Amino acid sequence: MIKNVGSADKIIRWIVGLALLSMIFWVHSSWRWIGLIGFIPILTGSINYCPLYSVIGVSTAKKEDQPQPGEKK
C-alpha cells in the first residue's frame, strides 16, 4: 500500500477524529453517535493511507516516502 497521507495531514486527521469522538461524551441528543465517524480519520491517519485520496489522485506524503516505479517497499 502506497502512503498518501503526509505528516501534517496525519496530525490534522487525529485532531479532527478525536474532536468527533468527543461528541459521544459531550452531546446529549440523538446526534451524539455521529461522533463514531471520528474513527475514520484516526484510522486513515494511523496507517498513512486514505482510500478517497487514491480515487481522486491526491497525495500529501513526501516523494521519498513513495516507492519509485519498479521498486518494491
Q: Is position 71 within any domain?
A: no
Q: Is position 22 within any domain?
A: yes
For 33, the domain range is 7-65
pTM: 0.79
Q: Is position 73 within any domain?
A: no
For the stretch 23-43, pLDDT in tens is: 999 999 998 999 999 999 999
Q: Is position 31 within any domain?
A: yes
For the stretch 48-60, pLDDT in tens is: 999 999 999 999 9
Between the alpha carbon of residue 53 and those of residues 23, 38, 50, 58, 67, the distances in Å are 26, 18, 5, 5, 17
What SS3 state is found at 71? coil
